[in-house]
Structure 1
């Protein structure tokens, strides 16, 4: 440090001496002017705010006497606007010249040729200046008080030239320097292309002297170099593609192509095993997987890496396993095959920070008490229940909320308890534990509407019809593991996602007519907990809040699928492992599906649900892939099962058609019966017209004589009541059975009671008479009614016959007495 101070002091002294000599030199020769020159700047006219720019002070157009050698002395002041430019440094031209800039003296510069003999007579840069741009606009670099002298102490005429610089706002340029595809025609590189992997390998036979390298850039604004035909020499050939982003950032992808020698050597550059004693690699070792992770405690500064080659003629080189620093360290295991081809395995070792004796933070984020304005909560308060309801009168605008945390170290925030509006309101009580855990309690407050004289009950009924269902019926996280298992009645969950996920892939269904709002689902930070709020709003405005506390792991997942097959066929010909939702339609006879999920990671586990007992309509088949670190990815297949068909018809259509045919058949049968009855009536009328004896057939069967069952009524016999009589009477009234012998009824029994020509006998009268005869064991009344009914019918038939005879004039008329 002392030596550096001495050197600095010497330089300062030398520059002071130079400046003094030059000042005396110029002053002594100020009166003499010979020749001319111009002095100005070389600098880029355009810059962006925050740029560092370089401006060179140069002397041009030198015109001196031929007897003079050139310019030996320079001096003047650098002039600039400090609002636009910030001076950084100045560097003078090299020996034998000495040039200095004194920023403390109005940026005065002075320079001299110590030999006083050489000088310069052509365009020369004498000072290099560096500035930083401070704000947008135009500013000018200029020179003042400029003096130039030749080596004979003559003063030159000087023309200073200023320079204008325009400072603009920097344009943010695209930084994407990734490839979207990389291949060699006719061959497969190893490992499979991934835009984040920059090193690949390939072995070709000895007779292959060249290959064609193909690459596609991910951004249209980037530039690409290195593709095309590449010649190969025997052994390892590194061929590279360079992607340059718009902002100038470069990324190089290299494929090591090993051309085998004429004498075949092994190209096996893989490992049989890779381990670190005392630790566990993640994921489990697989010779085709090149990237692994490992955590070690703070006191571990090195690790012992065991690498066993798959071929005994291969060699291994391990780098980076010592002097581990806190944080991430990369250990490489390079395997060189017998033919010279190489493969590199990488272990990212995370050394933990030194743990301090920090106290364990309280994680309790529950309430021990919740009171809202003295109203009774529904359901009753329980610290593990997070949704409640109350109803308040129309004159209540604000509510006092008493919320006491279970832990004295937790914080409670309340919102929504003021300025209540008619209808549905909700109050949220958020409890934040000492360690950051959060729980949100929701109180749905229904404020009654003020009654008015013009109001009707229709509005109230309409409100009562609105649904208060505010549940999530299902919740699936495609790129993370939820704990505990989702239950619509539970409001708080923990979710862990892998490093590559900075948001959740959510699939959910809500109650009918409910709306869903998701907040906070973005920008997860590694190692930190990010709360996501899912608000479900029912049709009536009531609210339920679900909280997902998301932790982003420093570990990457390895749970992608390479394909899904259903009943032996590809689900999608263009299967994308990052596409998590698919649709499939099956016929109505399909009751189950054979689903095969093919993983990229051989150690990943697959669980398939929902592919059995398919119902008609929509079915959901879930394919869950879990890697060694416990990270889960869920693929969902929506299966639409069509209705079953019979004779080309759905079940509904088939049964509708069958019902129609049966109805048609019933109508045909009824028509046949009606036609037969109509024909029978015609036959009876024909018989009457021909003088056939009319037999009266009463409409009831009231019993039997002496136990016989010949369906004939014997008025002089004994009646025995059948057990089925009372049930069959209404039916038998409509269908007469046998005639009654006129002589068996003695006229004296009924002549005084009934008028055989005036009374009309009804079925009700016959039914009552029948009941009476059964109860009293006396059938006189029934006999009279039957006789009267017979006479009424005969009377009608005689009248019809008389009318017919009158029309034919074949017989004289006669009255009833004559008959």
Structure 2
């Protein structure tokens, strides 16, 4: 019912008339908006959410029977960039949805950490931890190289000692010198961030003190050289007064008779005496403690020279004139000459006898008394090796 009001209300009357009409009540519109998200490349997609706005007074999400969902075409490996997040679906009795897309931003990775590192030989100390950047390892002397197998974020790059590795995970081999070898591993993240890991690998010094070769300037080693054989002999002629040795060692220092000799260089052993001459070669390995001694006995042959170099007499003349290769001579002296003195000289290592009597010294002198008539005088020369030559002198008084 209606009641009139106001100053002029009494001037009017209200009459009722019955009537019917039809109206449409339309659903209100809800905005379904995908919320913006961000992720690092190669990370799993974040959880997508939808914000609902536009409820009439008194309503909330309970008025929605099924919520709209947000989706994207982006997968884990999709590259850096911005991509749409679309909204679809959802049911509600009293509303319709206006779908508003959001943005998924994929950013470069800042991860420059190694995930793991393997080595082909030895063990890292401490055990690998991505947050620890310095390591050591020890290997034997026979290990001449080491291979690292690092793995990092799939978009990172790895260099070992400045050389880029192919692949990730990858492998890189480094040659090792004896002693400490510092190896750096540089990891560069997708966004340019860098982390450097350092590995100090110590290769043990060699304990090999063996010679690899031994040669002589003259003569022949007996037995033939072998690293494991340490005693040798060699024979040289009497005319050889010195010999040069050339010792070679791969991983050792060398001294010959106490004198340092570079591997592959010659050492001259002068003043060989007749008979045995002992030469000692001592090698010291890289480890500074392991040594090995080689012994070479060089035998210089005795002289076989039993020739006289010269003979003179104090009276008369030898006929023919003296020649070391002529062994018979004559000489004539006056009756007044009752003796003759011979002055022979021979190889300094030979001995001389006149008529069986040894002469003292070389050169020497020996006197023989003479009878009237022919006097046969023998001069026997014995070389150092025992060789004997006899010269005969017939002196007629």
**Which of the five TM-score ranges fits, normalised by the shorter chain?**
under 0.3
Identify the structure with the greater strand proportion: 2
**Greater RCO (CA < 8 Å, at least 6 residues apart):** 2
Q: Which has the larger radius of gyration?
A: 2
Superposition TM-score, scaled by structure 2 size: 0.23
The TM-score normalised by the length of structure 1 is 0.11
